[in-house]
Amino acid sequence: MPNHDQIYAEQAGRYDRLISKQPELTHIVHSIKPFAGLDIVDLGAGSGRLTSALIGQARSLTATDASAAMLDVLKERVPEADRPRLHTVVADHRELPLPDASADLIVSGWSLCYLTNSNDPLWTSNLERIQQEINRVLRPGGTVIIFETMGTGFETPNPPDFLLDYYAALERQYGFTHQWIRSDYTFESLSEAEELTRFFFGDELASQVVAKGSTSVPECAGIWFKHY
């Protein structure tokens, strides 16, 4: 698999091209928590997939990410009229430089998994620290929504084995409710589909894309949410 940390640091614009091929998630977030007028935190905001969808209705939005380069792309993606309500900060999920009880809604898209997958021997303590920070920053009555992969190249959920314990812990230990959606990529051409899947997901998936000759690549996304 490609080195995602390197991609986020050095090829943030190309990554943003990839995720722009997926459907917007505004209606999903709204169905769980109407967010107009809320103070929102986007953990691991990346190039702004969730931030750009939510900030237009938010009272304020704080986007955190470990990569300053990704946040630079995010700031360019947010419309100028919305930028006064945007705050960005380079941060680790386990130690957020944010005030106590400062958010009504916390969202995180495809990010916590880098610290909570079972390939990391510290994943359980990482998850506990992340949950403690979420609990600290969230106001009473707030909501947290977490998006993670349930498998790229699959039409029904087929999550990687190294994420199964993390997903189970969210539900059994931390009380999250779970659902899933399709989040397929729709590319403009087969060559673009091959280029961008190889860039981020590696040779195996890109070879499958070429063999099928399709500009659409199926993906399943899991959604975990909890109301406090």
Q: Which long-range contacts (CB under 8 A, 24 or more apart) does 212-215 make?
A: 214/190, 215/186, 215/187, 215/188, 215/189, 215/190
Residue 1's pLDDT band, with cuts at 50, 70 and 90, is confident
**Total domains in the fold of the chain:** 1
| Percentage with pLDDT > 70 across the chain | 100
Domain membership of residue 149 (yes or no) is yes
Domain membership of residue 203 (yes or no) is no
Classify the C-alpha dihedral 36-171-122-120 as positive or negative. negative
Domain membership of residue 140 (yes or no) is yes
Domain membership of residue 166 (yes or no) is yes
In this predicted model, what pLDDT tens digit does every residue of 51-106 receive, in sequence order? Answer: 999 999 999 999 999 999 999 999 999 999 999 999 999 999 999 999 999 999 99
* CATH (domain of 57): 3.40.50.150
∠ Cα 176 178 184 (to 5°): 140
Is the separation of the CB atoms in 103 and 43 below 8 Å? no
Ramachandran class of 101: left when φ > 0, alpha when ψ lies in -120 to 50, beta otherwise = left
Domain membership of residue 142 (yes or no) is yes
Instruction: Report helix, strand or coil for 31.
Output: helix
Domain membership of residue 157 (yes or no) is yes
Is the separation of the CB atoms in 190 and 215 below 8 Å? yes
Residue 40's pLDDT band, with cuts at 50, 70 and 90, is very high
Per the structure block, which two tokens stand in for 162? 């190294």
Q: Which residues contact 94 (CB under 8 A, 6 or more apart)?
A: 115, 126, 129, 130, 133
Domain membership of residue 212 (yes or no) is no
Residue type at position 56: G
The predicted model scores a pTM of 0.97
For residues 118 and 107, give the distance between their C-alpha atoms in angstroms, rounded to a whole number.
22
In this predicted model, what pLDDT tens digit does every residue of 158-208 receive, in sequence order? Answer: 999 999 999 999 999 999 999 999 999 999 999 999 999 999 999 999 999
Query: Residue 10: which domain range?
Result: 4-186+219-227
Domain membership of residue 26 (yes or no) is yes
For residues 199 and 1, give the distance between their C-alpha atoms in angstroms, rounded to a whole number.
9
